[in-house]
Chains A and B, each alone.
Chain A
């Protein structure tokens, strides 16, 4: 069973990807880095979707979901980068700690 890839391996990899992404989002104050962390989280989820599709459900639906997530991530990155760019043009920084002008 040692040289054999099982579902658990994929889940561990997916979980690690999720945890790294989460750590990135939680700790980094650079907005672009946070976007990258979000990508990691989404891809951790993708690994899970594909793994469950292969080992549990069969068929193609999990992989189609993963493809949708990738498309969504691309769209999200485009929108996110556009917002960040706009913020940067306004306050000359992408440090999220400084983007607090709406706080009273």
Chain B
């Protein structure tokens, strides 16, 4: 097998003592707002609550920037900052520390999470201004940021998994933020339960990976092994558990690689990536029930990503998650948390790269999800639902990227998506606020006149997502599709499937067209034409004023995000334009040791595909403009009548929820009923039988006690009484009687004396 990893040495660790501050500030903010937020809000007003939260975010972002500056000052291969706080668990050779690490990939995520997180915190000030439970909202937001930072900064699987679950919890808390509405509480629960499905796969994948490493470890001779790269002559050898024999080796002691099961990302990376350890070889050949272990591990890990990143078929929770406040949708369900799956796959690129089957699976699921999400997005009327399905679709794109081996492109799309999708969501939030919490686009229209800033930022974000070369979305999406087209090593169920790349490319182009269509559809329906609202929510008359532009705290954030969405293109200009690798690719390189073989096509081919990509977006845009500009065209309504049946299927999300209801939920209920029957009949029967037997024995015992034991005692007592009554006669009180007795006794003694002689 052609090895999918570069020739690399182990990572050098640069210890940094301040990394813990990055997650600490949001945690502190969350703690303050949780414990005394209510009191602060009542005593000093809401400004204190959001000041604490935003200050925590700004500090965290600032520390992140310091770390970033430090990282930029280091040479590429040494960019691995680490900060170990304390050991959480030590079991044999396995050490789990509460430790944070930043490599370029983690650094990018930290900057996205804290940077965009800060912006969304600021946005929330304006958006949630009338919320009574203001303190609770900011406490949750800060807690979420803390969990997310644990996820991206965790040095090992344990810390990462803690964050992984933490963001799930915060997602639940924030979706069900208005918990008095049963539908919203149910949406939160749904998100949580669906995520648990994915987490189950994730945990199984981790266990199997751990087991696989243990297997490799036991097969090696001499037990625990360490691998020491020799300095002399680039010669590589394996020493078995021996202490350093010369000063040269001792000097490079920090580069020793322990081979064996580990939960630490860096150790895992080192022993898999450094070829001389032989771990990668072993893992690749390991089988479980006849299937390649790594494929199973990759697929199971990806199941976790499917849950968190809403990929088919676990995508059902994300649209419902829009029940939460709009900043939450922007922060958690568009920019950060849902990208955790992508991040995880990119982080474990060296594992996934070893298994073409797992990669093919990731890419295929991503492509299908992209198409699926985009097609549903076509026909939604709820502006947030459109964006939600758009998010599902874009996450699919990211998985295409990490699936085909263009890890940096997936990460880049994550970054650009964070900007433009946050801008879109916050723009929709601004619109919703202006329309008095109306989310139906049919009741909007013409808002461009009232809120120009929101309109412009929304338009730029639309341009970015639609894939026009003047904004960032084009560069990331195009890179992903190009890599999908030019890849040649994907496999499906163990079979090499080189055609998969072309198929994914076609799906991607169709999806890109659809993306442009539904995004501009939402833009035209919302911002052009005549205002169709005119009424406040719940049919009440408007409060005497039409929609108006949102406050500065909202519009400023929108401007920053939209400009970010445009400017992010600078770090990803394709190599075919500039003749040097994109800045971000170069930056992320140390984190992504996996190299996947791509077919070398001439430059004109790439240019051609870029033109195809742009025209796909343009076609989508033109159709949207034709059908929805100013809300004048009668064609959409006619088309709707003509294609009523397929429209209904797509509008109802292909009945995916209903399918779940009929299979999983109903199945669970039937299963629950069976268990209930077993419980009430069998288990209770056994318990009752045991009870009856015990009662029987108790009665028996009681009878024995009453009649036998008490009888014996009473008999003794009554016989004593009877004896006393009889003997009382003897005591006459007459002295003669006693004397007769004494005489008789004496006579008896005398007689006995004679008789015995």
Q: Which A residues fall within an 8 A CB radius of B?
A: 22, 25-27, 29, 34, 96-97, 99-104
CA distance A29 to B735 in the complex (A): 9
Residue in B closest to A104 when the chains form the complex, CB atoms: B728
Taking CB atoms, residues of chain B closer than 8 Å to A104 are: 728
CA distance A26 to B739 in the complex (A): 7
A96 touches B743 (CB 8 A): no
Given contact pairs A26-B736, A96-B736, enumerate 11 new A-B contacts (beta carbons under 8 Å).
Answer: A22-B743, A27-B736, A34-B735, A96-B734, A97-B734, A99-B733, A100-B732, A101-B733, A103-B732, A103-B733, A104-B728
Residue B601 CB within 8 A of the other chain: no
CA distance A26 to B741 in the complex (A): 11
Which B residues from 739 to 755 make CB contacts under 8 A with A?
A: 739-740, 743
Taking CB atoms, residues of chain B closer than 8 Å to A29 are: 736
10 closest Cβ pairs, A-B complex: A103-B733, A100-B733, A96-B735, A26-B739, A97-B734, A102-B733, A26-B736, A100-B734, A25-B739, A96-B734
Taking CB atoms, residues of chain A closer than 8 Å to B578 are: none
- The count of residues in chain B whose C-beta lies closer than 8 Å to any C-beta of chain A is 10
Q: Which B residues fall within an 8 A CB radius of A?
A: 728, 731-736, 739-740, 743
12 pairs, CB–CB < 8 Å, chain A vs chain B = A22-B743, A25-B739, A26-B740, A27-B736, A99-B733, A99-B735, A100-B732, A100-B733, A101-B733, A102-B733, A103-B732, A104-B728
Taking CB atoms, residues of chain A closer than 8 Å to B733 are: 99-103
Closest Cβ of chain A: how far from B202's Cβ, in Å?
Answer: 94
Taking CB atoms, residues of chain B closer than 8 Å to A99 are: 733, 735
Residue in A closest to B732 when the chains form the complex, CB atoms: A103
CA distance A99 to B739 in the complex (A): 15
Closest Cβ of chain A: how far from B659's Cβ, in Å?
Answer: 99
B735 touches A103 (CB 8 A): no
Instruction: Give chain B's interface secondary structure class.
Output: helix
Q: Which of these, A25, A34, A101, A103, contacts B731 with CB under 8 Å?
A: A103
B734 touches A26 (CB 8 A): no
Taking CB atoms, residues of chain A closer than 8 Å to B732 are: 100, 103
Residue in A closest to B736 when the chains form the complex, CB atoms: A26
Closest Cβ of chain B: how far from A98's Cβ, in Å?
Answer: 9
CA distance A70 to B692 in the complex (A): 85
Closest Cβ of chain A: how far from B603's Cβ, in Å?
Answer: 134
Residue in A closest to B731 when the chains form the complex, CB atoms: A103
Q: Give the total number of A-B pairs whose CB atoms are below 8 A apart.
A: 25
CA distance A98 to B732 in the complex (A): 11
Closest Cβ of chain A: how far from B84's Cβ, in Å?
Answer: 96
Closest Cβ of chain B: how far from A73's Cβ, in Å?
Answer: 18
Taking CB atoms, residues of chain B closer than 8 Å to A25 are: 739
Taking CB atoms, residues of chain A closer than 8 Å to B734 are: 96-97, 100
Residue in B closest to A97 when the chains form the complex, CB atoms: B734
CA distance A47 to B740 in the complex (A): 24
CA distance A58 to B734 in the complex (A): 42
CA distance A1 to B741 in the complex (A): 41
CA distance A43 to B252 in the complex (A): 127
Closest Cβ of chain B: how far from A33's Cβ, in Å?
Answer: 12
CA distance A67 to B739 in the complex (A): 26
Taking CB atoms, residues of chain B closer than 8 Å to A27 are: 736
A26 touches B731 (CB 8 A): no
Closest Cβ of chain B: how far from A44's Cβ, in Å?
Answer: 15
Closest Cβ of chain A: how far from B735's Cβ, in Å?
Answer: 5
Taking CB atoms, residues of chain B closer than 8 Å to A97 are: 734, 736
Residue in B closest to A29 when the chains form the complex, CB atoms: B736
Taking CB atoms, residues of chain B closer than 8 Å to A26 are: 736, 739-740, 743
Taking CB atoms, residues of chain B closer than 8 Å to A100 are: 732-734
Taking CB atoms, residues of chain A closer than 8 Å to B728 are: 104
Residue in A closest to B728 when the chains form the complex, CB atoms: A104
CA distance A96 to B745 in the complex (A): 22
Taking CB atoms, residues of chain A closer than 8 Å to B736 are: 26-27, 29, 96-97
Closest Cβ of chain A: how far from B641's Cβ, in Å?
Answer: 120
Taking CB atoms, residues of chain B closer than 8 Å to A34 are: 735
Taking CB atoms, residues of chain A closer than 8 Å to B739 are: 25-26
Taking CB atoms, residues of chain B closer than 8 Å to A103 are: 731-733
Closest Cβ of chain B: how far from A71's Cβ, in Å?
Answer: 24
Closest Cβ of chain A: how far from B740's Cβ, in Å?
Answer: 7
CA distance A29 to B736 in the complex (A): 8
CA distance A34 to B739 in the complex (A): 11
CA distance A29 to B739 in the complex (A): 12
CA distance A26 to B736 in the complex (A): 6
CA distance A96 to B740 in the complex (A): 14
CA distance A103 to B730 in the complex (A): 11
CA distance A5 to B743 in the complex (A): 31
CA distance A93 to B271 in the complex (A): 124
Closest Cβ of chain A: how far from B353's Cβ, in Å?
Answer: 111
Closest Cβ of chain A: how far from B548's Cβ, in Å?
Answer: 114
Closest Cβ of chain B: how far from A82's Cβ, in Å?
Answer: 17
CA distance A19 to B728 in the complex (A): 30
Residue in B closest to A102 when the chains form the complex, CB atoms: B733
CA distance A104 to B740 in the complex (A): 21
CA distance A102 to B739 in the complex (A): 18
Residue in B closest to A34 when the chains form the complex, CB atoms: B735
CA distance A96 to B736 in the complex (A): 8
Taking CB atoms, residues of chain B closer than 8 Å to A22 are: 743
CA distance A22 to B735 in the complex (A): 13
Closest Cβ of chain A: how far from B744's Cβ, in Å?
Answer: 11
CA distance A103 to B733 in the complex (A): 5
Quick one: which of A27, A101, A103 has the most chain B CB within 10 A? Answer: A103
Taking CB atoms, residues of chain A closer than 8 Å to B735 are: 34, 96, 99
Closest Cβ of chain B: how far from A41's Cβ, in Å?
Answer: 11
Closest Cβ of chain A: how far from B619's Cβ, in Å?
Answer: 127
CA distance A91 to B481 in the complex (A): 136
Closest Cβ of chain A: how far from B560's Cβ, in Å?
Answer: 114
Closest Cβ of chain A: how far from B736's Cβ, in Å?
Answer: 6
CA distance A42 to B704 in the complex (A): 62
Residue in B closest to A96 when the chains form the complex, CB atoms: B735
CA distance A70 to B743 in the complex (A): 23
CA distance A9 to B736 in the complex (A): 30
Residue in A closest to B735 when the chains form the complex, CB atoms: A96
Taking CB atoms, residues of chain A closer than 8 Å to B731 are: 103
CA distance A103 to B731 in the complex (A): 7
Residue in B closest to A103 when the chains form the complex, CB atoms: B733
CA distance A97 to B734 in the complex (A): 6
Quick one: which of B732, B734, B739 has the most chain A CB within 10 A? Answer: B734
CA distance A75 to B473 in the complex (A): 139
Taking CB atoms, residues of chain A closer than 8 Å to B740 are: 26
Residue in B closest to A25 when the chains form the complex, CB atoms: B739
CA distance A29 to B737 in the complex (A): 11
